C-alpha cells in the first residue's frame, strides 16, 4: 500500500495529472472459504473439548441411577443400561465349538436404542465409569459396554467402579478408587454362559421333538427339577402309621396347664390305636394329680449370622411367605435406593452374596447403636462369623447400610412388603452383634396313677439378642412363660383324653427348603436360586400348593427322560463340580476352553444318539374325556398347554373350541368349578363356578375329585399346623376330615 502511494506521488510530480488509487488485489473465493473453514474447525474442536466437562457413569437400573446422580452432582451424568445390552443370539446357539468355543455376541433385540443413547452421552463426556453390579454378571456387562463404547469413541478414558452399598460415602469412595475390568471374572461369566448355552441348546430341541414344542432344559434347572421329583416319589411312597397320645388338662391356681403322657407303668407309652388309648385313659381317670418333680436347666441360644442371599430367601419364605422371586425384587429396590423425604439412599447392601463377612465400619456402627439402646446386650468384642467352605466371599453379608435407620424410622417411606423385608434384614444384622440369650427351661412331672405327665416352659435369664427380634423370630423360639407349680402340689384334673395322629413322611420341598438344598449341594449361585425356581414354575414343570413345590406330569416326564439318558449332566454331583470349575476359571487355575472340550463333545454325541433312538412322547399326556364339544359335537380331550391342562376339541384345527378343565362340581348350582387366576391380590389362584355371575361360588382351597361321604360336597386340600396336609370337606357346616376318618396321612 505504501509502494502504491509512492508511485502516485511520483506520477503526479512528473506529469501534473492526478492518478486514481489502485486497490489491493482481493483473495480468491477458495482462499476465503479455506480460511473460514479453518476458523470453524478450530471453534468446533474447542467447543467439543469444552463440552466434555463431565463424567458418564453407567449403572444397571434407572432407580440406582436416580440415587447415585444425587450423590455425585452436576459434573456427573448417570445413565442405566438396564442389564445386559450385548449377549449371545436368541435364535441360535451362537457358540463356535470348532474354534475354542468362541461366543458370538450381538446387540440384544430391542436394546439398540439404549446403546445409542449411551454412545451419544459418551461423545459429550471426558470419561466413562462403568458401575454395574459387583459380581460376575456385572463385570461382564461392564466389559461389553466398555468395549463397545471404546470402539465408537476411541481414546476416551474408561474405568470400572464397584460398591457394596448405595450411600453417599460408598459412592464417593468408589469414584475415588476406579480400577480396570477384572478379565478373570469376565472369563468365568463367559464360561458359565457358554456352558449353559451348550446344555440348553442341545437338550431343548430334543424335548421339542420328543415331548412338546416350547420346552426348555437347563443345567441348573434340570438338577433342581430332579430334586423335586425325587422328593415327590419319596413323599408318595411313604405309608403313614397311626399312633395316639394322651393329654391331661390341669387346673392350677391362676391358669390351666396341659401336659403329655411321658411314662405309663414305668415305660414310655407306644399307643398304636384308639383301643389302647381308651384303656390308658380309663386307668387314669379319677386319680389325683401330684406334682412329683420339678427341675430346671439352662440353655444358651446364640444369635445367627447376618443374611446371605440363600438364608434371606429361606427366612423370608418361612416368616413372611414370600417367594424367592418376590424377596429378590424387594431387596433390589431396597438396595438401589428409596426416597427418604429430602434425601434418597440405599437401605441395604448388595443382596447377591454367599458371605457372612461384615465391614469393620459397619461392625463399629452396630456396636455403637447397641451400646446406646441396649447396653446390657453388648458383647465385649464384635462378633465375626465364618462363611461356608464354598463361599466366594466377594461381598459382605446382606445388612442395613445404616443401623441408625431402624425399621420404625423408615416405615412411612416403604411399602408394606418392603418394610417387612427391611425389618427382617435389620433385626438379623443387629441381633448378630449382641450377646447370646440364656433361657431357663423348667420341667414338671405330674403323677396320676401309674402315669407320669410332663410339661415344660421357658423363661429368660438373659434376653440377649432377642431384645431386638420381633419379626425375624418364630413365636416358638421365644421364651415367654414359666410354670406356676411347686413340687408336692396337688392339682385338679379337668380332662384326660387321647388324640389320634399319623407319622409324617418326608415333606415336599418349599421354596425355602429347595434353596437350602441347592446351596448345600453346591448347585447354582446366589444369583441363580430365584430365577431357577421361577423358570420351573413358569414352564409348568412344577406347581405350587400351600407353599409346597409339586412336580407336574410334564415335569416328571422331562425329569425321567433326562435322568435316564443324561444322568451325569443333571446329577447334583456334575452341577456342583461345574460350579467349582467356574470358580477356578476366575482364580485362573483352570483353562475354561479345556473344560468345555472335555464336556461338550461326548455330550453332543449322546444327544445325537438319543435324538435318533428315543421314541416320541408327544400326546402321551393327553387324556380322553367324556365331554363333547358344544360347537361341533366331537369329543374333547384334556391337553397340556403352556399354563397347564385345558380341554380342546379333537376337531382342531377346523374347530378351535377350548375350555378350562373342571376340577369339581359346584355345590350351589351343579355347574363346573374351574381354576381361575386373579391378577391382583396376594392369593392369585382360586376356584370358581363357570356360571358366574349367576353363581358366585368360589374357594381358595384346591378341590379334589373325591366327594364328601357325609354331605356329598367335594373335598379340598388344606394344610395347617394342627392337622398337617389333609383333605377336608368344603361345606362349612360339615366337620368331615379325611385323614382322621380313613387313617390316611398326607397326600
Q: Which three cell numbers stand for residue 625?
A: 374325556
- We report the CATH number of the domain holding residue 467 as 2.70.20.10
| Measured distance CA(371)–CA(376) in Å, rounded | 8
* Residue 453: all three cell numbers together: 405327665
Beta bridge partners of 160: 130, 179
Q: What's the pLDDT score for residue 641?
A: 75
Q: How far apart are CA 369 and CA 426, in angstroms?
A: 12
Give every residue of the chain whose pLDDT is below 50, as ranges.
Answer: 1-25, 30, 32, 34, 37, 39-43, 45-50, 738-747
Q: Is 43 within a domain?
A: no
Q: Is residue 535 part of a domain?
A: yes
Structurally, the chain folds into a number of domains equal to 5
Q: What is the pLDDT of residue 716?
A: 84
Length of the chain counted residue by residue: 747
pLDDT of residue 364: 95
Cross-strand pairs, 159: 129
Query: Do 429 and 544 have their domain in common?
Result: no
Q: Supply the range of the domain harboring residue 451.
A: 242-302+438-502
Together in a domain, 103 and 54: yes
Q: Is residue 635 one of the residues assigned to a domain?
A: yes
Residues 18-51 pLDDT 10s: 334 444 445 555 454 545 545 444 445 444 444 5
Task: Name the residue among 112, 110, 103, 109 with its Cα closest to residue 91.
Answer: 109
Kindly state whether residues 56 and 171 are assigned to the same domain. yes
Same domain, 608 and 679: no
- Which DSSP state fits 320? I
In a domain, 66, yes or no: yes
Is the peptide bond preceding residue 693 cis, with omega within 30 degrees of 0? yes
Among residues 350, 529, 541, 600, the one annotated as catalytic is 350
- By C-alpha distance, which of 722, 281, 264, 266 is closest to 493? 281
Contact indicator for 211, 618 with CB cutoff of 8 Å: yes
User: Is residue 134 a contact partner of residue 350, using CB atoms and an 8 Å limit?
Assistant: yes
Residues 577, 660 share a domain: no
Quick count: other Cβ atoms within 10 Å of Cβ 475? 6
Let me know whether 213 and 298 are in one domain. no
End-of-domain residue from the set 613, 634, 652: 613
Residues 577 and 676 in one domain: no
Q: What is the pLDDT of residues 651-710, one digit of tens each?
A: 988 999 988 888 888 888 888 888 887 655 555 678 888 888 888 888 888 887 778 887
Active site residue 350: yes
What CATH code is carried by the domain that includes residue 156? 3.40.50.140
Long-range contacts of 203-210 (CB under 8 A, 24+ apart): 203/562, 203/566, 203/569, 203/607, 205/611, 206/607, 206/610, 206/611, 206/614, 207/558, 207/561, 209/611, 209/616, 210/561, 210/611, 210/614, 210/615, 210/616, 210/617, 210/618
Q: Does 485 share its domain with 538?
A: no
Considering the domain architecture, whether residues 113 and 205 belong to the same structural domain is answered as no
Of 483, 502, 521, the domain-final residue: 502
590 and 683 both lie in a single domain: no
| DSSP H or E stretch at residue 166 | none
- Whether 641 contacts 213, CB under 8 Å: no
What pLDDT is attached to residue 390?
Answer: 54
DSSP characters over 524-587: S-TTTHHHHHHHHHHTTSEEEETTEEEE-HHHHHHHHHHHHH-TTTSSHHHHHHHHHHHHHHHT
Are residue 198 and residue 321 in the same domain, yes or no? no
Res 725: pLDDT: 65
In a domain, 7, yes or no: no
- Bridging pattern class, strands 658-660 and 644-649: antiparallel
Output the CA–CA distances (angstroms, integers) from residue 644 to 324, 540, 554, 657, 689, in the order listed.
22, 6, 9, 16, 19
Read off the CATH number of the domain in which 413 is found: 1.10.290.10
Q: Is 645 in contact with 638 (CB distance < 8 Å)? A: yes
**C-alpha cell belonging to residue 647:** 380341554
Residue 573 falls within a domain, yes or no? yes
In a domain, residue 5? The reply is no
Amino acid at each position: 500500500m505504501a509502494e502504491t502511494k509512492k508511485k502516485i506521488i511520483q506520477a503526479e510530480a512528473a506529469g501534473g495529472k492526478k492518478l486514481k488509487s489502485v486497490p489491493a488485489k482481493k483473495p480468491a473465493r477458495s482462499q476465503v472459504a479455506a480460511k473460514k473453514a479453518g476458523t470453524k474447525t478450530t471453534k468446533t474442536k474447542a467447543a467439543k473439548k469444552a463440552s466434555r466437562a463431565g463424567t458418564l457413569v453407567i449403572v444397571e437400573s434407572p432407580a440406582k441411577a436416580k440415587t447415585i446422580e444425587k450423590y455425585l452432582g452436576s459434573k456427573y451424568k448417570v445413565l442405566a443400561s438396564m442389564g445386559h445390552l450385548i449377549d449371545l443370539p436368541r435364535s441360535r446357539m451362537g457358540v463356535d465349538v470348532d474354534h475354542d468355543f468362541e461366543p458370538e455376541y450381538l446387540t440384544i433385540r430391542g436394546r439398540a436404542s439404549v446403546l445409542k443413547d449411551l454412545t451419544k452421552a459418551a461423545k459429550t463426556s471426558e470419561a466413562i465409569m462403568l458401575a454395574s453390579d459387583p459380581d460376575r454378571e456385572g463385570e461382564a456387562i461392564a466389559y461389553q459396554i466398555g468395549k463397545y463404547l471404546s470402539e465408537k469413541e476411541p481414546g476416551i478414558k474408561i474405568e470400572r467402579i464397584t460398591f457394596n452399598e448405595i450411600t453417599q460415602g460408598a459412592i464417593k469412595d468408589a469414584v475415588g478408587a476406579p480400577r480396570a475390568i477384572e478379565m478373570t471374572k469376565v472369563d468365568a461369566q463367559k464360561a458359565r454362559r457358554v456352558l449353559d448355552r451348550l446344555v440348553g441348546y442341545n437338550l431343548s430341541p430334543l424335548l421339542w421333538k420328543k415331548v412338546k414344542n416350547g420346552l426348555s432344559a437347563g443345567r441348573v434347572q434340570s438338577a433342581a427339577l430332579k430334586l423335586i421329583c425325587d422328593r415327590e416319589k419319596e413323599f408318595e411312597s411313604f405309608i403313614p402309621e397311626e399312633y395316639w397320645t394322651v393329654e391331661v388338662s390341669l387346673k392350677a391356681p391362676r391358669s390351666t396347664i396341659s401336659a403329655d403322657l411321658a411314662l405309663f407303668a414305668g415305660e414310655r407309652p407306644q399307643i398304636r390305636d384308639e383301643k389302647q388309648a381308651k384303656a390308658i385313659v380309663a386307668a387314669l381317670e379319677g386319680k389325683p394329680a401330684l406334682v412329683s418333680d420339678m427341675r430346671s436347666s439352662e440353655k444358651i441360644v446364640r444369635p445367627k449370622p447376618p443374611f446371605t442371599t440363600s438364608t434371606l430367601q429361606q427366612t423370608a419364605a418361612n416368616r413372611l411367605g414370600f417367594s424367592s422371586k418376590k424377596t429378590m425384587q424387594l431387596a433390589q429396590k431396597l438396595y438401589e435406593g428409596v426416597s427418604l423425604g429430602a434425601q434418597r439412599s440405599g437401605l441395604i447392601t448388595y443382596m447377591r452374596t454367599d458371605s457372612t463377612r461384615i465391614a469393620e465400619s459397619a461392625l463399629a456402627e452396630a456396636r455403637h447403636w447397641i451400646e446406646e439402646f441396649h447396653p446390657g446386650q453388648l458383647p465385649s468384642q464384635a462378633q465375626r462369623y465364618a462363611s461356608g467352605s464354598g463361599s466366594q466371599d466377594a461381598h459382605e453379608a446382606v445388612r442395613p447400610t445404616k443401623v441408625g435407620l431402624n425399621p420404625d424410622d423408615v416405615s412411612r417411606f416403604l411399602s408394606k412388603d418392603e418394610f417387612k423385608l427391611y425389618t427382617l434384614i435389620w433385626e438379623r444384622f443387629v441381633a448378630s452383634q449382641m450377646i447370646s440369650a440364656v433361657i431357663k427351661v423348667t420341667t414338671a412331672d405330674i403323677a396320676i396313677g401309674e402315669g407320669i405327665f410332663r410339661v415344660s416352659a421357658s423363661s429368660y435369664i438373659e434376653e440377649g439378642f432377642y431384645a431386638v427380634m420381633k419379626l425375624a423370630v418364630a413365636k416358638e423360639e421365644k421364651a415367654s412363660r414359666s410354670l406356676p407349680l411347686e413340687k408336692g402340689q396337688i392339682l385338679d384334673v379337668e380332662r384326660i383324653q387321647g388324640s389320634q395322629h399319623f407319622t409324617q413322611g418326608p415333606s415336599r420341598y418349599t421354596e425355602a427348603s429347595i434353596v437350602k438344598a441347592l446351596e448345600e449341594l453346591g448347585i447354582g449361585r446366589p444369583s441363580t436360586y430365584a430365577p431357577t425356581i421361577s423358570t420351573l414354575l413358569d414352564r409348568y414343570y412344577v406347581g405350587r400348593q400351600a407353599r409346597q413345590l409339586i412336580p407336574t406330569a410334564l415335569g416328571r416326564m422331562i425329569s425321567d427322560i433326562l435322568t435316564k439318558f443324561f444322568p451325569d449332566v443333571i446329577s447334583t454331583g456334575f452341577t456342583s463340580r461345574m460350579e467349582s470349575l467356574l470358580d477356578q476359571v476366575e482364580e485362573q487355575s483352570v483353562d475354561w476352553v479345556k473344560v468345555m472340550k472335555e464336556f461338550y463333545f461326548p455330550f453332543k454325541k449322546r444327544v445325537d444318539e438319543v435324538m435318533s433312538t428315543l421314541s416320541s412322547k408327544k400326546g402321551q399326556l393327553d387324556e380322553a374325556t367324556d365331554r363333547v364339544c358344544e360347537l361341533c359335537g366331537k369329543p374333547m380331550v384334556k391337553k397340556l398347554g403352556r399354563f397347564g391342562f385345558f380341554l380342546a376339541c379333537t376337531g382342531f384345527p377346523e374347530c378351535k373350541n377350548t375350555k378350562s378343565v373342571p376340577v369339581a362340581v359346584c355345590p350351589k348350582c351343579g355347574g363346573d368349578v374351574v381354576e381361575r387366576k386373579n391378577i391382583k391380590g396376594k392369593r392369585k389362584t382360586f376356584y370358581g363356578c363357570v356360571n358366574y355371575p349367576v353363581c358366585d361360588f368360589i374357594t381358595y382351597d384346591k378341590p379334589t375329585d373325591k366327594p364328601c361321604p357325609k354331605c356329598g360336597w367335594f373335598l379340598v386340600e388344606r394344610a395347617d399346623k394342627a392337622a398337617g396336609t389333609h383333605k377336608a370337606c368344603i361345606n362349612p357346616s360339615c366337620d368331615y376330615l379325611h385323614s382322621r376318618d380313613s387313617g390316611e396321612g398326607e397326600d
